[in-house]
Amino acid sequence: MRIARKPGRPLSFDRNIALDQAMRLFWQSGYEGTSLGALTKAMGVTAPSIYAAFGDKKQLFLEAVSRYVSGPVTAQTLIDDAPDAHAAATALLRTSAIGFTGASTPRGCLLATSTISCSPAAADVQRQLAVIRKKIEARIKEKIADDVRKGVLPSGVDADALAGFVMATIQGLSTLARDGARREKILRVAEAAMAAWPHR
Amino acid sequence: MRIARKPGRPLSFDRNIALDQAMRLFWQSGYEGTSLGALTKAMGVTAPSIYAAFGDKKQLFLEAVSRYVSGPVTAQTLIDDAPDAHAAATALLRTSAIGFTGASTPRGCLLATSTISCSPAAADVQRQLAVIRKKIEARIKEKIADDVRKGVLPSGVDADALAGFVMATIQGLSTLARDGARREKILRVAEAAMAAWPHR
DNA sequence: TTTATTCCATAGTGATCGATACGTATCTTA
DNA sequence: TAAGATACGTATCGATCACTATGGAATAAA
């Protein structure tokens, strides 16, 4: 079977690599803080090619976000693979602390920082990221509720508040990282946070 | 003694009221997300008058931030007035939960949201807000260290990590509020967080 | 009234924003 | 080699950005 090849002039850049550069820039400066001029420079692609390949700036950003949350290790997989909610929360916080302080990436969390505040024109983008955050929180809440049903956690546990607490801590770790805190300290903060976990 | 009155045409607007409107707008949309056009409309003051009264956009923003953190109830006073670190942290989190969900104010925390991500042009503003955040964290850390010295908290307590945890939680509550969580839930999250507090 | 001072309102400044029109180059297919 | 399709590079588009030059209006002091 032959490889189907589109007619016409081929792309002169690697779409994945260019998207990675865009993701990194959005991660660093946020959605509205990243200009198309900065994107063209970082991606090595002219504006018309970006628009042909990704649509407009909003679609490029959302695709970058999709790439950010679709790596081999995601919040989803961390939660699903953990034996219980405590292990899931610990893994989430530890992985966040590591991921927010990578030497070769921007500090903090793209999901937590890139549209926290923006002009009214970007309100819908802001809302879409909030939806993603809420889905993660809902998944944590389910995991906690599972533990309550199994008797791993006492029946009095407020799954809603505890899931919100885990999310809040992740967002907070992101800001600490943005403000320059070292990885080692953020890991200690995460550990201190897990002391809030209820026991049977 | 007579009231000294400047010569020349008097100001046609109330500087404090205008500053309040600016603060609210920055609180809502962040530093770079708030345009001067939006400010002139909300403040009811034309651009040249804003520049005459406040300098430039950066100075106006910093003055709005100064106003935000200089109310009758501030992080500083909450910490200083509390009998111990646990009470201080509880007061901080509860007050944050209330303040981030006011019906007549934007949601979340101006200090936590307005410059989390921004273009390289606003890097210095971003840094100045990070300094303010770090001062609050340092004050919390002192309060904790005091408790350790007094024996209120065990000597093994990591004051640095615990102070970072309180700050991280506040930032996280801000994002939860931004994402639409109700005040009642955020208060429960704050309560869940305080379960992490070490005891003697 | 005159003069000095200060502020307001109009109407812009150059720069940058996101996004695109247009003509040429490069590919597959026939 | 011709035809069709796709992407490239150049050179912009109108809108909006933060900001300001200029002249008239409103006040206090002389």
Distance from CA of B170 to the nearest CA of A (A): 7
Cβ count within 10 A of residue A161: 21
With a CB cutoff of 8 Å and minimum separation 6, the contacts of A93 are: A166, A169, A170, A173, A190, A193, A194
Inter-residue contact B27 to B68 (CB < 8 Å):
yes
Q: Is A80 on the interface with B (CB under 8 A)?
A: no
> Residue A4 has what pLDDT?
63
Cα–Cα distance between A190 and B168 in angstroms, integer?
Answer: 10
**Amino acid B2: pLDDT:** 44
Residues 22-41 of B with CB under 7 A from strand D: 32, 34-38
pLDDT classification of A128: cutoffs 50, 70, 90: very high
Name the closest residue on chain B to residue A181, using Cα atoms: B164
Answer yes or no: is A10 CB < 7 A from strand D.
yes
Name the minimum distance, in Å, from the CA of B3 to any CA of chain A. 43
> Hey, is the C-beta of B192 within 8 angstroms of any chain A C-beta?
yes
Is pLDDT larger for residue A181 or for residue B72? Answer: A181
Tell me which chain B residue has its CA closest to the CA of residue A191. B161
CB B103 within 8 A of CB B48: no
What does the alpha-carbon distance between residue A84 and residue A86 come to, in Å, rounded to a whole number?
Answer: 6
A1: closest CA of chain B, how far (Å): 49
Q: What is the mean pLDDT of residues A36-62?
A: 97
Q: What is the pLDDT of residue B72?
A: 84
**pTM listed for this prediction:** 0.95
Distances (CA, A) of A12 to A4, A9, A43, A46, A47: 18, 9, 12, 11, 14
Q: Which two tokens stand for residue A6?
A: 């589109």
CA dihedral B178, B181, B184, B189 (to 10 degrees): -90
d(C-alpha A177, C-alpha A98), whole Å: 10
Which DSSP string corresponds to B28-75?
Answer: HH-TTTS-HHHHHHHHT--HHHHHHHH-SHHHHHHHHHHHHTTSSS-H
Q: Tell me if B196 and A198 make a contact (CB, 8 A cut-off).
A: no
Tokens of B15: 């500087």
Closest C1' nucleotide to A40's CA: C18
Residue A27's alpha-carbon distances to A19, A40, A65, A120, B138, in angstroms, are 12, 16, 9, 20, 28
Work out the pLDDT band at A145, boundaries 50, 70, 90.
very high
**Which residues, given as ranges, of chain B have pLDDT below 50?**
1-2
Q: Say how many C-beta atoms besides its own lie within 10 A of residue B36's C-beta.
A: 13
From chain B, the residues in CB contact with A181 under 8 A are 164
User: Which of A179, A187, A191 to mutate to probe the B interface, most B CBs <10 Å?
Assistant: A179
CA of A48: nearest nucleotide by C1' is: C20
Instruction: Fill in the DSSP letter of residue A173.
Output: H
Average pLDDT, chain A: 96
pLDDT of residue A72: 84
Rounded to a whole number, what is the distance in Å from the CA of A116 to chain B's nearest CA? 6
Cβ B56 to strand D below 7 Å: yes
Measured from Cα to the C1' atom, the residue closest to C21 is: A48
Helix (H) / strand (E) element for B27: namely helix B15-29
Q: Is pLDDT larger for residue A11 or for residue A5?
A: A11
Q: Helix, strand, or coil here: B156?
A: coil
Amino acid present at A70: S
Q: Which nucleotide is nearest to A55 (CA to C1')?
A: C19
Whether the Cβ atoms of residue B35 and residue B61 lie closer than 8 Å to each other: no
Residue B9 approaches strand D within 7 Å at CB: yes
- In single-letter form, the type of residue at position A5 comes to R
